[in-house]
Structure 1
Amino acid sequence: MLDHSFSEILLAVYVSIPWAIIMLTYTFIFIDYFYGIIVSIIIKEATSRKMVKGLQKKVFVLFVPALGILAKAFFVLCDLPRTWAATSQINDFLGVVNLADFPICLLFCIAIIFMECYSFLENSAKIDHRARNILAHFNHKLAEELKKHHIELEDDKDDDEDLAKAS
């Protein structure tokens, strides 16, 4: 039986959640969504179907930190024994004493932030050759595909002319 009241458990869960990183993660998600809309307008490929599809993906991604919060709540609620952390040697690796101390929500959020940064780079590569060059270091095939469908902007033309003059 539980030795703690429900309010004590809720407080323990609330205090143990990394709220700042969750808010940062949600900020990255919203910025990426609206930046994607702006890029699709710039390249003249904006459709309501694409926006709905993008929104569905972002709503799904919004639930990932929520799953981290639920996992954290489960570990705090169950108060899993400290011996598990000692026998699995996870305490040596991450410095946790029990599963409630495991930063699962933090790990989820960091993964999402990296994913959103890459998505931002992909969107930028659609309108800027410098971003496409950076993207080529990660995904050459996608960078080449974007190059084929790229709409030459005035900045790109000027940069290409400058490079041709320099060589």
Structure 2
Amino acid sequence: MSRASHICLMATYNEWMNAKIYAAARGLSDEELSADRKAFFGSILGTLNHLVIGDRVWLKRFANHPTNHSALEPIRHLPTPESLSQLLFSNIQELSAHREWLDQIIVEWSRSMTESDLDHTLNYTSMKGIPADRSFYGLVMHFFNHQTHHRGQVTTLLSQAGVDVGDTDLVALVPW
């Protein structure tokens, strides 16, 4: 599997898992979603907001890639989050709608990716204001790994709330 094909697979997995997690989360009350569960970002809602923030931050950076992927055009105009723990959306309905929109953009962007796109170095500034230069492919892999990491936390929080998300393994989508 090529790197570009792997990115498409990860985008599809991301969209699939987010749909499963949000469907499970919508079965909980606002109080259950906002309850401090002593996770990195407090609550289920806080962790899901963090994932959206992380995605927006990275997608805005990726929008500066030399190939100027048109799929990321809507992202360029979004405000940059103030912090990684900012609560962008206080209810699951609005957060879910934004998540679906982001996931559609991520899938479209992944489908436009070429092998040569992945060979670039991306220049960006961290949330702390530190300039950085990194392998674009490595950053894209970090982007998807970050999502998987925090979705794993959310599935644990949902499980503690009595909700089973079901199968979460990437292998379910790996081609034969």
Larger Rg: 1
* Bigger relative CO (Cα 8 Å, ≥ 6 apart): 2
Task: Tell me the TM-score normalised to structure 1 length.
Answer: 0.36
Higher strand proportion (structure 1 or 2): 2
Structure having the larger proportion of residues in helix: 1
Normalised by the size of structure 2, how large is the TM-score? 0.34
